[in-house]
Amino acid sequence: MSFNVAVLVSGNGSNLQALIDSPKLAASTVAIVKVISNVPSAFALTRAERANIPSRVIEHRGFDSREAFDRAIVDELQQARVDLVVLAGFMRVITPVLLEAFRYRVVNVHPALLPAFPGMHGVRQALAYGVRVAGCTVHLVDAGVDTGPILAQSVVNVLDEDDEASLAARIHAEEHRLLPQAVCWFAENRVSITEVEGRARARIRRDDHEPRL
Amino acid sequence: MSFNVAVLVSGNGSNLQALIDSPKLAASTVAIVKVISNVPSAFALTRAERANIPSRVIEHRGFDSREAFDRAIVDELQQARVDLVVLAGFMRVITPVLLEAFRYRVVNVHPALLPAFPGMHGVRQALAYGVRVAGCTVHLVDAGVDTGPILAQSVVNVLDEDDEASLAARIHAEEHRLLPQAVCWFAENRVSITEVEGRARARIRRDDHEPRL
DSSP string, B125-191: HHHHHT-SEEEEEEEE--SSSS-SPEEEEEEEEPPTT--HHHHHHHHHHHHHHHHHHHHHHHHTT-E
Provide the pLDDT for residue B39: 97
pLDDT at res. A87: 97
> Quick one: B106 exposed, middle or buried, by C-beta within 10 A (0-12, 13-18, 19+)?
buried
The pLDDT value given to residue A196: 82
Contact, A87 vs A141, CB < 8 A?
A: yes
- A213 in contact with B at a CB cutoff of 8 Å? yes
**Sorting pLDDT into bands at 50, 70 and 90, what band is B209?**
low
pLDDT recorded at residue B198: 82
Which residue of B132, B150, B162, B192 is the best one to mutate when testing the A interface, meaning the one whose CB has the most A CBs within 10 A? B132
pLDDT the model gives residue B206? 83
What is the spatial distance between Cα B156 and Cα A195, in angstroms, rounded to a whole number? 24
What is the band of B208 on the pLDDT scale with cuts at 50, 70, 90? Answer: low
Q: Does A149 touch chain B (CB under 8 A)?
A: yes
Cβ A121 vs Cβ A154: under 8 Å: no
Contact yes or no for B106/B88 (Cβ under 8 A)? no
pLDDT confidence tier of residue B145, bands split at 50, 70 and 90: confident
ipTM, 2 dp:
0.89
A195 Cβ under 8 Å from any chain B Cβ? no
Largest CA distance in chain B: 50
Dump pLDDT digits (tens) for B155-205.
999 999 999 999 999 999 999 999 999 999 999 999 999 988 888 999 999
**pTM of this structure:** 0.92
The CATH class, in words, for B3-204 is alpha beta
User: Which of A124, A133, A138 should be substituted to probe chain B, the one whose Cβ sees the most B Cβ atoms within 10 Å?
Assistant: A133
Report how far residue A119's alpha carbon sits from residue B111's, in angstroms, rounded to the nearest whole number. 24
CB contact under 8 A, B113 and A133: yes
Enumerate the residues of chain A whose CB falls inside 8 A of the CB of residue B202.
Answer: 130
CA B104 to chain centroid: 12
| pLDDT of A184 over the 90 cut | yes
- pLDDT above 70: residue A212: no
- Beta strand A106-110 with A133-140 is antiparallel
Contact A113 B130 (CB under 8 A): no
Asked if pLDDT for residue A209 goes beyond 70, the answer is no
- Return the pLDDT at A175: 98
CA distance A49 to A168: 26
Mean pLDDT of the region A155-160: 96
Query: What average pLDDT does this structure show over B13-30?
Result: 97
Query: Looking at residue B212, what is its pLDDT?
Result: 53
pLDDT digits (tens, 9 = 90+) for A23-57: 999 999 999 999 999 999 999 999 999 999 999 99
* pLDDT band at B130; cut points 50, 70, 90: very high
Confidence (pLDDT) at B207: 74
Average pLDDT of chain B? Answer: 95
* Segment A109-128 mean pLDDT: 96
**Which pLDDT band holds residue A86 (cuts at 50, 70, 90)?**
very high
Residue A50 makes CB contacts below 8 A (sequence gap 6+) with: none
